[in-house]
Chains A and B, each alone.
Chain A
């Protein structure tokens, strides 16, 4: 598996660092880690950079993660980027809404490196 270009979207800079660290702990080799603090910023990053993986929070100001993933899927070339939602919102309705908007997976905070390994790494292997 080639080193991945990853975008981490969360309004908390601490959570962005923790997600990045957890990806490394899970054994993911990363070529580049890009960050955005809301969905609107993340869309700009996704338009300008080729990406292999996106991990996104849901509850964010400006544009939340559900709207972000919905708009992302309309960007040419971004339809197949795996997007995993990492969020405190754990209800079945949220999961269904995230998946129907185009998310590839879902992880509830707090999360462990094992959960990242089990649910994120396989998406990169196709």
Chain B
């Protein structure tokens, strides 16, 4: 991941590309000749199910159906997990700080966790589990594709440019009345 400051806009420009994976798995994933399914039919539904599973099991929250349209998320927390191997891309997770704080509290079974490191940590882990659950649902990906450790960005003043340059799948849910977004950016 490269980060450069754009002096004109005083915004952080974040350019993503995926190269890293777990040390023991890196060679295996790279050597895998397993063909990735060319059909991505149903991947949006699987991303929805993966997100729902993580929220239900780890947060004790049943998410409703995905929201149609493009509501304003006001995201000041963004988590990313890279996929590398037979499928390359990035799973992204965006929410407001208020939602991120509530998610962390629910995950830890507490009323509140404040705005400390626990929020960043929990937010990254949710993204990590969504990415893992998603790839476990797609034939050929569970073994042919490795996950990076999560990265979390806090703050609104940045622009995210995925170098994946391929298809994007986005699903928006409501958590306690506030929207959050889960995305899958795929390399061509």
Contacts and interface: CB of A to CB of B under 8 A. Distances in A.
A35 interface: no
B104 interface: yes
Interface string A88-99: 111111100100
Nearest to B145: A91
Interface string B16-40: 0000001111001000000000000
Interface in A14-72: 14-15, 17-18, 21, 58-61, 63-64, 66-67
29 contacts: A11-B149, A12-B121, A14-B107, A14-B108, A14-B121, A15-B121, A15-B125, A17-B108, A18-B108, A59-B22, A60-B149, A64-B25, A67-B23, A88-B128, A88-B129, A89-B25, A90-B136, A90-B142, A91-B142, A92-B142, A93-B28, A94-B142, A108-B132, A108-B136, A109-B128, A109-B132, A110-B53, A110-B58, A110-B129
Given A11-B149, A14-B121, A88-B147, 19 more contacts: A13-B117, A13-B118, A14-B104, A14-B108, A14-B118, A15-B125, A58-B24, A58-B25, A59-B147, A64-B23, A88-B132, A89-B146, A90-B135, A91-B136, A91-B141, A91-B142, A92-B143, A94-B143, A108-B136
Interface of A: 11-15, 17-18, 21, 58-61, 63-64, 66-67, 87-94, 97, 108-112
